[in-house]
Structure 1
Amino acid sequence: MSDTKPAAGDQRVLTGRVVSNKMTKTVTVLIERKVKHPLYGKYITRSTKYHAHTEDALLEGDLVEIKECRPISKTKTWTVVRRVEASKLI
């Protein structure tokens, strides 16, 4: 028998903002997407929050790339791949 490994394209990769970093080795990432209203045609912003595993110290406001992975805990099934952009100070 040959070993079959899942293809690299099986895991989703999303980009979003860190909105919370108060947990140990976990950040909350907000993903926003635009959807078109079926009747009126107006584009609406929908958002979803994901808990993602990270070993790095990320700050709120950082733009990060997250990848789907095996379940790490009850709510964590994503891991941070890289920081795309650091947060901007006001």
Structure 2
Amino acid sequence: MNNRSRLVGKVTSNKMTKTVVVEVFNVKRHPLYGKVVRSSARYKAHDEKNECHVGDVVEIVESQPLSKEKRWVVERIITQSVATLPVEA
């Protein structure tokens, strides 16, 4: 097993070729005051087959730098958004 970081987030943009923007949410309790602090971070991730669509929940894994801002690769699609599910006739 490798030591690469893995994150789970939601695809917010897929307008670039072979690249998606994944927003990862983090919920943490403040150590002194106890308030729940929510934060989010956006990562550009490589999507080799252009399979991801906006709203999909994906797992991304850390990789070597692929471009100026891309350091993550889409490992798998956990759940597809409702708009991208295939329609049954």
Sort the TM-score into its range (normalised by shorter chain).
Answer: 0.7 to 0.9
Who is 2:87 aligned against? Answer: none
- Corresponding letter in the other structure for 1:14: L
- Corresponding letter in the other structure for 1:70: Q
Who is 2:7 aligned against? Answer: 14
Q: Name stretches of at least 5 consecutive residues in structure 2 with no aligned partner.
A: 84-89
1:49 aligned onto 2:4: no
1:26 aligned onto 2:19: yes
Q: Name stretches of at least 5 consecutive residues in structure 1 with no aligned partner.
A: 1-7
Percent identity of paired positions between Structure 1 and Structure 2: 45
Aligned-partner Cα distance in 2 for 1:85–1:54: 15
1:62 aligned onto 2:56: yes
1:75 aligned onto 2:85: no
| TM-score, normalised with respect to structure 1 | 0.85
- Corresponding letter in the other structure for 2:77: R
In the alignment of these two chains, the number of paired residues is 82
RMSD of aligned residue pairs (Cα, Å): 1.1
Aligned-partner Cα distance in 2 for 1:42–1:28: 29
- Corresponding letter in the other structure for 2:27: K
Aligned-partner Cα distance in 2 for 1:82–1:44: 28
| TM-score, normalised with respect to structure 2 | 0.86
